[in-house]
Chain A
């Protein structure tokens, strides 16, 4: 960063409040010329808001922005763009029915005078050639027919067409395949080499390590780590800052007393559910009396799994069983008749019918499930009043004709009551406490607990990990469409859950590697991050219980409290026997092909069975990692 390292953009004490949400609290950011700067944080940390403040999408409430030494006060994206700041967002701002060429030069169309298509075409070709991407895009193609990656490329070229110097990429890899990610990284590399400043906003840690020079970490609207060299920080450290150490301590103790449900019968199970592209392979089961949590980041495939189960989204594969009986709903009505209720994520769009009265909204699922010609609202009167009492909803507001006048919490209670009215066997709730005040939250939790105890299988999806750990007995983590962990919540805290939920390009590959190693050599394979005298386990495959290393996926442990402390302390690449002689362990560090640390792959075997050939194992691990690169 030497010669180019003067500050291009300085953001200091930036504040932003959306009504009651304090999105940015004196956040700061400093960008150097010619760097790729990672802006990372968990859901809701404020990284997107800060990006949008800089790009003029959102007006800040306070604080200072300096761009190239001059104050920057963009009142619109247009002004930011004129200053040379562009943002490439997930939902692109392209005109789908126009050609690639027209989209690239859309800002030019607002100018007076005639446009020369020939010269525009030439310029577009040059811009793409500078990125090395002239083969990837045909200028005359309609944008609506392009892939997500190609659209992104159009966005980038559009930014270059107006000579943007600072380009912010907001979650740019979320909808890209691994090959496309490589292409994007190549483009970002070229842009950096041309002296531009790039901001890479992401919660995909491996990518942050792969592409960025420096990182700024945000948490709850604040900047907690400013401009650290990426090379000087470890994954574990990054996660700690994202989550906040103190959080981990506070919530290490599980919230509600969890009754032993492990010997209860399974009420509801889903096996190998697939609904591409969002859902690849999701399995889970709910035992009687249990609340199961589905954790994951936004876009990981949680909501889509729920929709696939409920028949709102076509399933490619998967078996759904309710009390042992297989059901296969193709549309919601069939799911309802099978005994499934579903509180969808977006209240306004998916749940509330604004032109019907509150009472009719409450009775909407009844209306669908009811077989007769009339309304039969009266048959539910008693149950409705019971529910209103349990949910402490005022009965006299039932006849109000506009539910949108109610608070978010009341709306949510009515939607939940809509399903409870039908006495479902399974109730799936997607973000049931989003936009709901704290008082109502706790009464929603109480209701869920009550119905779970009556034998309803409750599945709750939430981005609020703290809430999941507090409310649920078990949590299934979904990442990139795969269910990757199924853990009792008393073993989890927010930190571990965040770690597990972070999408990892290498998760599948390394999980396969572990399966293969243990299939061939027996023992137990594991994938861990080592952080001083602590380890964080990302995955395990245990073929031989005698070789169990003493930790499970998602666990963070002190090395000395595992069953293989000597090997972990030694970090040697050949087999190290424990002092008690029971187990021998081999550890191999794995790196991305850009050379960044991806943790360690280990294989523990019972010493009594003899130690496998070290060279062969090294070769196998090496081959698997390279195959992916």
Chain B
């Protein structure tokens, strides 16, 4: 009986009429990515005033180059966060994949070792994803466990030492230029285009949104909830390995500590890009903006010779302020 009364109450709440169509600026302001893009532009303007070097072509390519690793990681993290999950293991899984590459390229050759590394990363994601989706375990805890396992295997497989005889051919792959643009940047751009197309234009992508937004409804509508809940973790693990390949290509060395704290950068970029940690909300373009904001801040602080020890505080503070401002604005705009 109480149920029927509550449903009556609910019904009334649901009857509220749709808000009237607002003018175009207001509607744009409602889009989180647009607001974040504005923030990125303001940031860029501020940095170019503070440092004359910031707005040079050279430095802009620098920023793109620095965006590659965190950018690749963040695509996978976007998938995971869209389902309402989180993957804390991408950093150590990336580290593990790097070590796998380092100990196999002598036997398998560079392309074979890269495939082995990516398979290793995807497999770690498959295990986490399956545990989370099939048994309903908390993503936070499962990936925390995977994070510890991954890092421990890094030390064991690498004999606690760095591997530095990485062949130059890897670096060549990363830095070959096509029409004046390095391949790693091209790869990043293509990856974001593919990621956008997948999330916006395919059955799998829309299913991932539906799962994050309302898993029960997704299941009741006959969507393949289990498969598409596991997939994002596989993608995140695989892309973590890919990100590590680019990183190894940049520094030509594999360290058992490599990839430490990468997951935090990736999560921060996705969240700054407007995704909701509860799932269902966020876009790949938002994530790209989030990545650029993160990298620009770091780059600008370097240009201004801020001590690396202070950079953590600065970046952390800016992230929190950005989210706070965003929350205050969105409360006013009245989204939801």
Report A's interface with B, CB cutoff 8 A.
Answer: 18-21, 23, 41, 43-49, 52, 298, 310, 312, 331-333, 335-337, 342, 344, 348-356, 360, 364-365, 367-370, 372-376, 397, 400, 402, 404-408, 411, 418, 434-437, 463
Instruction: Pick the interface stretch among B105-113, B214-222, B298-306.
Output: B214-222
Asked if B9 and A48 make an inter-chain contact with CB atoms under 8 angstroms apart, the answer reads: no
B200-221 vs A: 1/0 string, CB under 8 Å? 0111101101101110111111
Given contact pairs A48-B1, A355-B212, A411-B14, a sample of 8 additional A-B residue pairs in the complex whose CB atoms are under 8 Å apart = A19-B12, A21-B5, A332-B221, A354-B213, A367-B221, A372-B203, A376-B203, A437-B15
| Contact partners of B6 in chain A: CB under 8 A | 18
Closest chain A CB from B14 CB (angstroms): 5
B1-24 vs A: 1/0 string, CB under 8 Å? 111111111111111111100000
Asked if B2 and A355 make an inter-chain contact with CB atoms under 8 angstroms apart, the answer reads: no
| Contact partners of B10 in chain A: CB under 8 A | 348, 408, 435
| Contact partners of A312 in chain B: CB under 8 A | 219-220
In the bound complex, what is the Cα–Cα distance between A298 and B1 (angstroms)? 8
In the bound complex, what is the Cα–Cα distance between A372 and B207 (angstroms)? 13
B223 at the interface (CB under 8 A from A): yes
Report B's interface with A, CB cutoff 8 A.
Answer: 1-19, 201-204, 206-207, 209-210, 212-214, 216-224, 280-281, 336
Q: Which 8 A-B pairs have the closest CB atoms?
A: A435-B11, A21-B8, A368-B222, A19-B12, A336-B222, A355-B213, A355-B280, A405-B18
Given known contacts A45-B1, A298-B3, A375-B201, is B12 in contact with A20 (CB within 8 Å)?
yes
In the bound complex, what is the Cα–Cα distance between A310 and B7 (angstroms)? 24
Query: Which of B3, B7, B336 is packed against the most chain A CB atoms within 10 Å?
Result: B7
| Contact partners of B8 in chain A: CB under 8 A | 18-21, 23, 435
| Contact partners of A349 in chain B: CB under 8 A | 214, 216-217
Asked if B210 and A364 make an inter-chain contact with CB atoms under 8 angstroms apart, the answer reads: yes
| Contact partners of B11 in chain A: CB under 8 A | 19-20, 408, 434-436
Query: Which of A19, A373, A463 is packed against the most chain B CB atoms within 10 Å?
Result: A19
In the bound complex, what is the Cα–Cα distance between A404 and B18 (angstroms)? 9
In the bound complex, what is the Cα–Cα distance between A375 and B221 (angstroms)? 15
Asked if B223 and A41 make an inter-chain contact with CB atoms under 8 angstroms apart, the answer reads: no
Chain A residue nearest to B30 in the complex (CB): A401
Chain B residue nearest to A405 in the complex (CB): B18
Asked if B210 and A356 make an inter-chain contact with CB atoms under 8 angstroms apart, the answer reads: yes
In the bound complex, what is the Cα–Cα distance between A434 and B207 (angstroms)? 27
In the bound complex, what is the Cα–Cα distance between A310 and B204 (angstroms)? 22
In the bound complex, what is the Cα–Cα distance between A372 and B204 (angstroms)? 10
Chain B residue nearest to A400 in the complex (CB): B18
| Contact partners of A41 in chain B: CB under 8 A | 1
Q: Which residue in A331, A348, A375 is a CB contact (below 8 Å) of B202?
A: A375
Asked if B224 and A49 make an inter-chain contact with CB atoms under 8 angstroms apart, the answer reads: no
In the bound complex, what is the Cα–Cα distance between A200 and B162 (angstroms)? 74
A to B CB contacts below 8 Å, 27 in the list: A18-B5, A19-B9, A21-B5, A43-B4, A44-B4, A47-B1, A310-B220, A332-B222, A337-B222, A349-B217, A350-B217, A351-B221, A353-B221, A356-B206, A364-B223, A367-B207, A367-B223, A370-B203, A373-B202, A373-B203, A374-B202, A375-B202, A405-B19, A406-B14, A407-B14, A408-B14, A435-B11
In the bound complex, what is the Cα–Cα distance between A179 and B220 (angstroms)? 36
In the bound complex, what is the Cα–Cα distance between A33 and B248 (angstroms)? 82
| Contact partners of A355 in chain B: CB under 8 A | 209, 212-214, 280-281
Asked if A44 and B1 make an inter-chain contact with CB atoms under 8 angstroms apart, the answer reads: yes
Closest chain B CB from A430 CB (angstroms): 10
Asked if A374 and B209 make an inter-chain contact with CB atoms under 8 angstroms apart, the answer reads: no
Given known contacts A355-B281, A375-B202, A463-B4, is B220 in contact with A404 (CB within 8 Å)?
no
Chain B residue nearest to A89 in the complex (CB): B2
In the bound complex, what is the Cα–Cα distance between A474 and B126 (angstroms)? 50
Asked if A408 and B15 make an inter-chain contact with CB atoms under 8 angstroms apart, the answer reads: yes
In the bound complex, what is the Cα–Cα distance between A331 and B3 (angstroms)? 28
Chain B residue nearest to A370 in the complex (CB): B203
Closest chain B CB from A475 CB (angstroms): 19
In the bound complex, what is the Cα–Cα distance between A47 and B202 (angstroms)? 50
Asked if B5 and A333 make an inter-chain contact with CB atoms under 8 angstroms apart, the answer reads: no
In the bound complex, what is the Cα–Cα distance between A500 and B72 (angstroms)? 63
In the bound complex, what is the Cα–Cα distance between A376 and B212 (angstroms)? 22
Query: Which of A18, A52, A349, A418 is packed against the most chain B CB atoms within 10 Å?
Result: A18
| Contact partners of B220 in chain A: CB under 8 A | 310, 312, 332, 342, 344, 350-351
Q: Which residue in A23, A368, A407 is a CB contact (below 8 Å) of B15?
A: A407
| Contact partners of A405 in chain B: CB under 8 A | 16-19
Q: Which residue in B7, B15, B222 is a CB contact (below 8 Å) of A365?
A: B222
Asked if A353 and B1 make an inter-chain contact with CB atoms under 8 angstroms apart, the answer reads: no
In the bound complex, what is the Cα–Cα distance between A312 and B217 (angstroms)? 11
| Contact partners of A333 in chain B: CB under 8 A | 222-224
| Contact partners of A418 in chain B: CB under 8 A | 221
In the bound complex, what is the Cα–Cα distance between A19 and B11 (angstroms)? 9
Closest chain B CB from A440 CB (angstroms): 11
Asked if A374 and B203 make an inter-chain contact with CB atoms under 8 angstroms apart, the answer reads: yes
Q: Which residue in B4, B15, B201, B217 is a CB contact (below 8 Å) of A353?
A: B217
| Contact partners of B214 in chain A: CB under 8 A | 349, 352-355
Given known contacts A352-B217, A356-B206, A375-B203, is B5 in contact with A49 (CB within 8 Å)?
yes
| Contact partners of B4 in chain A: CB under 8 A | 21, 43-44, 434, 463
In the bound complex, what is the Cα–Cα distance between A49 and B1 (angstroms)? 8
| Contact partners of B16 in chain A: CB under 8 A | 405
Chain A residue nearest to B210 in the complex (CB): A353
Closest chain B CB from A353 CB (angstroms): 5
Asked if A46 and B206 make an inter-chain contact with CB atoms under 8 angstroms apart, the answer reads: no
In the bound complex, what is the Cα–Cα distance between A408 and B14 (angstroms)? 6
| Contact partners of B7 in chain A: CB under 8 A | 434-435
Closest chain A CB from B325 CB (angstroms): 23
Chain A residue nearest to B218 in the complex (CB): A353
Chain B residue nearest to A463 in the complex (CB): B4
In the bound complex, what is the Cα–Cα distance between A620 and B196 (angstroms)? 75
In the bound complex, what is the Cα–Cα distance between A41 and B1 (angstroms)? 9
Asked if B18 and A406 make an inter-chain contact with CB atoms under 8 angstroms apart, the answer reads: yes
Closest chain A CB from B204 CB (angstroms): 7
Closest chain A CB from B59 CB (angstroms): 37
Chain B residue nearest to A374 in the complex (CB): B202
Q: Which residue in A23, A402, A435 is a CB contact (below 8 Å) of B336?
A: A402
Closest chain A CB from B22 CB (angstroms): 13
In the bound complex, what is the Cα–Cα distance between A280 and B220 (angstroms)? 23
In the bound complex, what is the Cα–Cα distance between A575 and B6 (angstroms)? 53
Closest chain B CB from A243 CB (angstroms): 14
In the bound complex, what is the Cα–Cα distance between A368 and B227 (angstroms)? 12
In the bound complex, what is the Cα–Cα distance between A245 and B336 (angstroms)? 47
| Contact partners of A370 in chain B: CB under 8 A | 203
Closest chain B CB from A478 CB (angstroms): 17
In the bound complex, what is the Cα–Cα distance between A370 and B223 (angstroms)? 10
Chain A residue nearest to B335 in the complex (CB): A402
| Contact partners of A52 in chain B: CB under 8 A | 2
In the bound complex, what is the Cα–Cα distance between A353 and B84 (angstroms)? 14
Asked if B206 and A367 make an inter-chain contact with CB atoms under 8 angstroms apart, the answer reads: yes
Q: Which residue in A43, A45, A364, A376 is a CB contact (below 8 Å) of B217?
A: A364
| Contact partners of A21 in chain B: CB under 8 A | 4-5, 8-9
Chain B residue nearest to A342 in the complex (CB): B220
| Contact partners of B15 in chain A: CB under 8 A | 407-408, 437
Chain B residue nearest to A436 in the complex (CB): B11
Q: Which residue in A49, A372, A435 is a CB contact (below 8 Å) of B14?
A: A435
Query: Which of B2, B13, B16, B223 is packed against the most chain A CB atoms within 10 Å?
Result: B2
| Contact partners of B222 in chain A: CB under 8 A | 332-333, 335-337, 365, 368-369
Q: Which residue in A47, A356, A406, A435 is a CB contact (below 8 Å) of B213?
A: A356
Chain A residue nearest to B282 in the complex (CB): A355
In the bound complex, what is the Cα–Cα distance between A605 and B326 (angstroms)? 82
In the bound complex, what is the Cα–Cα distance between A298 and B216 (angstroms)? 21
In the bound complex, what is the Cα–Cα distance between A626 and B183 (angstroms)? 86
